[in-house]
Amino acid sequence: MSLSEEFISRLPKVELHLHLEGSLRPETFRELSRGRNSMVSKIERWVLDRQKQGYRYATFGDFIEAFKFAVQLLETPEDYALATVRLMEWLAEQNVKYAEITLAAGVVLWKQQSLDRIYEAVRAASLEAGARLGLRVNWIFDAIRHFGAEHTREVLHWASRYRSEGVVALGVGGDEVRGPANLFGAVFCEARDCGLHTVAHAGETCGPESVRDAVELLKAERIGHGLTAARDPEVMALLRERGIPLEGCPGSNVSIGLIPAFGDYPLRTFLDAGVTITLNSDDPALFGTSIGQELSMAAAEFLLSADQIAGLCENAARAAFLPEDEKQQLLAQIRQAVLA
């Protein structure tokens, strides 16, 4: 018997792999297009195309083009602030209690926008919305790995500047082939010296060796995706022994064509190997998903019990970049919902 939607809806949730720019739903697109008449028809066509295609992409490159379309609508600090508020309202509807949101700081720099003005607007918006909604967020500044080490070091400069103002980690995303992990060992070491946590997308579009390199060369504390680690028992053993959690994103992996269907996600493989796995929505609006949907699909496809679904949420709480007492508060909320 599958879990009730009511249980999953009221379960307190934690999300760790969530891109702000990929969270722009059609209604947010329309809000951002106000005063930009030339964009209205483009947006409507783009939204219709996404829906017709079932939020599927032929290649990872096709997805990147869709991401770029979303990014181009974010022109001002006020745009980023609006996107933040709308995302947090969406998270609150799903009973998310804590989230670490990735800001594509590398993209902001690439667009030659003012990262300080944008982040300060985002931070202010998140504090206001969080107080109103009962939701806390922190931020990860993400660099574009195929832009190289110096670009990543520039993102680190900004991340360290705002470390005491809600930025908890430096991350790298983008093309794993053109931006191999061996480029970033020194930068990640500098990030840790600054007091920042470190995360890396790995094993999404490359094999398990990309995950191994992120662990051994970068000493990343969490792995974004890590999908292909399931192919290599030695890499899974490495993750287990070092206690490195995976930020699993099954819906995302299906949308990009990395796996045929949600039921093909290697959730059981990771669980049976003792790997800490969390579920996340990644770019939810671009993939037609949400954290609630990811948990519901996992429960249905893998016949998970209430305790097992709660366990995935507990994994995320323990893997969060939070002080231990705050993790314990989240864990108590999750456990209380199971016992209710």
SS (H, E, C) 4-62: CHHHHHHCCEEEEEEECHHHCCHHHHHHHHCCCHHHHHHHHHHHHHHHHCCCCCCCHHH
Tokens describing residue 291: 């954290």
Measured CA to CA, the distance from residue 17 to residue 7 in angstroms comes to: 22
Tokens describing residue 173: 């995303």
Q: What is the pLDDT of residues 273-291, one digit of tens each?
A: 999 999 999 999 999 999 9
Q: Are 142 and 184 in contact, with CB atoms under 8 Å apart?
A: no
User: Given strand 246-248, what is the order of strands in its sheet?
Assistant: 13-19, 96-103, 136-144, 167-173, 197-202, 222-225, 246-248, 277-279
Q: How far is CA 174 from the centre of its chain?
A: 13
Read off the amino acid at residue 315. N
Annotated active-site residue in 21, 100, 204, 314: 204
Domains and CATH numbers, the chain: 5-339 (3.20.20.140)
pLDDT of residue 156: 98
Catalytic status, residue 216: no
pLDDT of residue 324: 98
Measured CA to CA, the distance from residue 247 to residue 229 in angstroms comes to: 12
pLDDT of residue 2: 55
pLDDT of residue 19: 98
Read off the amino acid at residue 40. V
Put simply, whether the predicted model's pTM sits higher than 0.85 gets the answer yes
pLDDT of residue 318: 98
Average pLDDT, consecutive stretches of 10 residues, N- to C-terminus, the chain (340 residues): 80 98 93 76 84 89 90 94 98 98 97 97 98 98 97 98 98 95 98 98 97 98 98 98 98 97 98 98 97 97 95 98 98 93
pLDDT of residue 1: 38
